[in-house]
Structure 1
Amino acid sequence: MSDAPGVLTHAAVMTGRSLRISRRNVDAVITSMMLPIMLMLIFVYFFGGAIDTGAAYDSYVMYVVPGVLLLCAGFGASTTAVAVSEDMKGGIIDRFRSLDVGGTPVLAGHVVASTVRNLVSTTLVLGVAVLIGFRPAATPAGWAAVAAVLLAYITALSWISAAIGLLARTPEAAGGFTFFMSFLPYPSSAFVPVDSMPDWLHGFADHQPITPAIESLRGLLLNQPVGNTPWIALAWATGILVLAVGLSGVLFRVRTR
C-alpha cells in the first residue's frame, strides 16, 4: 500500500496531467465558461423584466447571479464524468496501475483539475455579472464564506461526477450527467422564488441540496441575514462528498478487477 507522501505526489502529477488535457480541449473549457454567462444574459435581459423577486432586490440581476454561480459550478464539475470515463475506456488506467499509481490519485487529479477550472470560470461569470449591474455588498467574512460554500460544492460535485464516470460504460453515457447537473438548479430558488412555483414542487425545491447553497450565496453576497443556511449548505456538500468518495473507491475497484 502506498504511503501518504507517495499518494500526494501521484495526485499532484495526475492533476497536472488533467490540466494539460484541459488545455487541449479548449472547446469544452470555453463551453463550460460561456454557457453560464449566456444563460445569465438571457435571464437578465429576456426574462428579468417579467419576474417579480420582491422588494428586497433592486433588480433581477441582483437575484439571479448566485444561482448562475451554482449553475456554472455544476456544469463545469459534470465534465469530470466524461474525462474519467475516457480514461477507463482508453486503457490508460492499466498503465497507471503498472506504475503503482492507485485509483485515488487518478480520481483526485481529475477532481482538483475540475476545481481549478471551475474557480476560473466562476470568477469570470462573477466579473461579467458586475459589468451588467450586479453589485455585491459582502463583508470580508462574507466573501470568505462565499468562497467556502462554492469550493465545497465544486469539490463535492466533481467527486460525484467522477463516480458517475466510473459507473458509465461510455463517455457518451457519462455526458448525460451534464444535462442532469445543468437541470438541477432550475427546480430551486436559483431563477425564481420557490413560492412562485406550483405547490407540488415546493417540497423538492426547498429540500434539494442546491437551494440552501444558492440562498447562502445570495444572502452573503448581498449582506443579508442568512441564519443557519450556510451550515445546511455545507452539510449537504459534506454528505455528497463522503458518499461520492466512498462510491468512487468501490466502483474503481470493481472496474479494474
Structure 2
Amino acid sequence: IKVTHIESGIGSEISQYINDNTKLIFLESPGSNTFEIQDIPAIVKIAKRAGIPTVIDNTWATPLFLKPLDLGVDISIHSATKYICGYSDVLIGCVTVNKKYSEEFDEYLHAVESYTNSHDCYLALRGLRTLQVRLSAHQKSAFEIARWLETEDVVDCVIHPGLESHPQHNLWKRDYSGASGLFAFTFKEKYSDKQIALFINSLEMFGLGYSWGGFKSLVTARQYKRDGKWVHDGKHLIRLNIGL
C-alpha cells in the first residue's frame, strides 16, 4: 500500500494528486494537531468524478457539529473514546457508512467478527446521552480561552477554526455548526524544549496527555517541521484540550 501525504488545508487542488492507482481519499478535518480545515464538498466532488471513495475522521467535530455523509462523504469514522464516550474510560471506535457501502461493511464485520463488547457499548451509549450538553460546555470554555490567548503579547498565533483569524474559518463556518474543545497556539519567542517543559509543568489545571475529548483538561507540546511549507514550521505547538 502506497500512501501520499498532502497539505491538510486542501480543496479542489487534490485533483493533481489523484493517479490511476488511487483507491481511497482519507480526510481529517480539522487535523487534530494542526487544525487545518479541508474543503470537503470540493474534495468529494472530485473523488466521485474519479470513482474514489472518501473517508473522514470526524472525531473533533462529532456528529453533533459536522455531518459528513450529508456533504457526500462515503464513510465517517470516530474515535468514540473521546467526545462520544466523554469520560476517558472506554477504548472504542465507530464507523458510519452511506447506503452504497453499507452491505459491504456488514459482510466484512460478519466475516471477521469485529465487534466490541456489550459493556463498552453501554458506556458509549451513556456518553451519547450527555454529548450535546458536554460539547456545549467544551465549546464555550474553549472559545473563551482561545480569544483570551489572542490578546496575550507572548502568543504568536491561536489555531482554532472557529476564530476569524483562522485561514480556513470561512470553510468551518459554512460546513460546521459548532466547535469542540481542542485547539492549539504558538509563542512568539522560539523557546527551548526545557523552557516549554517548565511552562507545561507550571499549569495547575491541565494534565499532560495525548488523548483528548474527555472531561479533564490536557496539554501537549510538540515541535512541528514540514520542510518550511507550514507557517508554524519549527515552532512549539501547544495543544490544549479544554475539559469540563
Indicate the structure with greater strand content.
2
Higher relative CO (Cα under 8 Å, sequence separation at least 6) belongs to 1
TM-score between the two structures when normalised by the length of structure 1 = 0.26
Indicate the structure with greater helix content.
1
